[in-house]
Amino acid sequence: MDEKQINIKQKIFGLILCSIVFAIVYNFTAWYAASFENVPSFVFEIEKNIPFIASSIIPYMTSGIFFCAVFFVVQTKEQLIVLTKRMLFIILISGICFMLFPLKFSIAKPEINNSILEIPFLFLQKMDSPFNQSPSLHIAFAFVFWSVFRNFKSGRRYIIIWLILLGISTLTTYQHHLIDVFSGAILAQLTFVIFPFRKNDFQFRNFIVANFYFLFAWIFAFLALIIQQFVTDFGFIFLWISLMNFVIGFHYQKNQTRFLKDKFGTIPLLKKLFYLPYLIVYWFFWKFFRKNKIPVELISGLYVSSRLNQSDLNEFNKDECNIIVYDLSAELEEIKELKVNKKYHSVPFLDIGTFDLITTQNLVNQIFIEYKQRKSNDKILIHCTMGFTRSSVIGILVMKKVLSLTLEEVLIIVKSRNKYVVIHSYLFNFMKKVNI
């Protein structure tokens, strides 16, 4: 039996397993909800404006096709395992929600005048349940489908458009309320966070972090809707925070390290306003949780630290030496005294994100040359925001090149001199790939 046959059997097993669990959970929870005399509904005022579109039943019904096809699209065993875990998690958590908070759809469907479109609606009427609403399995599954189909080199645009239509159809076929859509999206993003793909591969680190931002984005969007209807008209503030998180997640996916700061270490005013909550959070953590406020000297003249404030800088540069600054922070603006430095370099990396291999190699070589050419009293300062990881990684690699030691030997020395260094396994694997 060759590898291809084994893979097909594994895919079929994954599909059958998820199908059986789905059938058991869905039908049992529907029966359970039907046993209550009164099952409530949760409807937002805005839903009164959602039109009924009979033709949207077409993308709605294709969810079952995607459910089957997605298992045969995955290419590796790891992809299949992650897909199966995500599907089972969604089914089981949804089933718990259906039992603890049973809801039913409450808007009557108009009559279907099209004889062809009437067939799938009749099928839904016979086979589907008016319960099992929140979270929407259609929505949660659509997110998982896209996490697999997005790897297609061609046709991705049409697939995402179709999946978006599938998501919209949950509302326009009068099958789900808005609460079902938002809870389904939140559940899907939670699933991505709990079951990440290649969590120990530095090349996929940005996608893992992006999913956290997307999760918060959906939560804040849901809160905006709830607050707008039940509390105050200022729910749009949460919508702004939601949009901001979506944008940041997108930047992480694309590894756009300069989404905030320019090459001079400055954040433009409009960006400060849009990203204000994000900047406040980072400033708070920098202000109260950073440890290495005084730069640590790894080797003579080479220092790593968190972002300095004015008093830190004064303490560091009592002897008024020339400071060559390498600012790796992508989040907080550099302090004025260092920005005006002729030897200031802004080379941002996203926090707890991916280190681009080429950028890292070029940066390490640049600092190495700067180190060799510096005057005896010059200081090279490598800093990020908190000083735990990004500055440490670059400092370690520069130190390795200067001393011509192995990575393991350098790590032992660095850890003895900088107790705040944080090097996760995926970063160690990344540093072994850096060719310097």
Residue with tokens 């290419």, as numbered in its chain: 75
Q: Domain for residue 235, yes or no?
A: no
Q: What are the phi and psi torsion angles at 245 (to 5°)? A: -65, -40
Domain boundary among 193, 222, 255: 193
Same domain, 297 and 178: no
| DSSP structure string for 348-408 | EE-TTS---HHHHHHHHHHHHHHHHHS-TT-EEEEE-SSSSSHHHHHHHHHHHHHHT--HH
Residue 6's pLDDT is 64
Tens of pLDDT along the chain (436 residues)? 344 556 899 999 999 999 999 999 999 999 999 999 889 999 998 898 899 999 999 999 999 999 999 999 998 999 999 999 999 999 999 999 999 999 998 888 888 888 899 899 888 887 777 888 899 999 999 999 999 999 888 888 899 999 999 999 999 999 999 999 999 999 999 999 999 998 888 889 999 999 999 999 999 999 999 998 888 888 889 999 999 999 999 999 999 999 999 999 999 999 999 999 999 999 999 999 998 888 999 999 999 999 999 999 999 988 888 999 999 999 999 999 998 888 999 999 999 999 999 999 999 999 999 999 998 889 999 999 999 999 999 999 999 999 999 999 999 999 999 988 999 999 999 999 998 8
Q: Both ends of the chain: CA-CA distance in Å?
A: 44
Domain boundary among 168, 193, 218: 193
Token couple for 60: 């709605």
Q: Domain for residue 62, yes or no?
A: yes
Cα separation, 269 vs 255, in Å, equals 22
Q: Domain for residue 233, yes or no?
A: no
Specify the pTM: 0.93
Q: Domain for residue 278, yes or no?
A: no
Amino acid identity of 239?
L
Amino acid identity of 232?
T
Residue 254's pLDDT is 95
Residue 347's pLDDT is 96
- Which residues, listed in sequence order, are joined to residue 304 by a DSSP beta bridge? 296, 382
How many other CB atoms sit within 10 Å of the CB of residue 354? Answer: 22
Q: Which long-range contacts (CB under 8 A, 24 or more apart) does 354-360 make?
A: 354/202, 354/203, 354/204, 354/205, 354/206, 354/255, 355/202, 355/390, 355/393, 355/427, 355/430, 356/255, 357/430, 357/433, 357/434, 360/393, 360/394, 360/397, 360/434
Q: Domain for residue 227, yes or no?
A: no
Same domain, 187 and 308: no
Residue 357's pLDDT is 94
- Which of 362, 419, 422 has its CA nearest to residue 391? 422
Q: How many domains does the chain have?
A: 2
Domain boundary among 173, 193, 213: 193
Question: Cα separations (Å) of 160 from 83, 152, 156, 169, 260?
Answer: 18, 11, 6, 14, 28
Q: What are the phi and psi torsion angles at 326 (to 5°)? A: -120, 105
| DSSP structure string for 290-341 | ----SPEEEETTEEEES---HHHHHHHTTT---EEEEEEESSSPPPHHHHT-
Write the CB contacts of 166 (distance below 8 Å, at least 6 apart in sequence): 59, 60, 62, 63, 66, 138, 142
Cα separation, 198 vs 211, in Å, equals 13
Token couple for 143: 């997110």
CB of 379 closer than 8 Å to CB of 282: no
The domain that holds 357 is classified in CATH as: 3.90.190.10
Q: Domain for residue 231, yes or no?
A: no
| DSSP structure string for 234-252 | GGHHHHHHHHHHHHHHHHH
Q: Domain for residue 205, yes or no?
A: no
- Which of 69, 87, 80 has its CA nearest to residue 143? 87
Residue 129, classed as helix, strand or coil, is coil
Same domain, 27 and 169: yes
| Torsion sign, CA atoms 261, 267, 270, 271 | positive
Q: Domain for residue 142, yes or no?
A: yes
- Which of 120, 3, 9, 132 has its CA nearest to residue 65? 120
Range of the domain at 331: 292-433
Write the CB contacts of 28 (distance below 8 Å, at least 6 apart in sequence): 95
Same domain, 128 and 8: yes
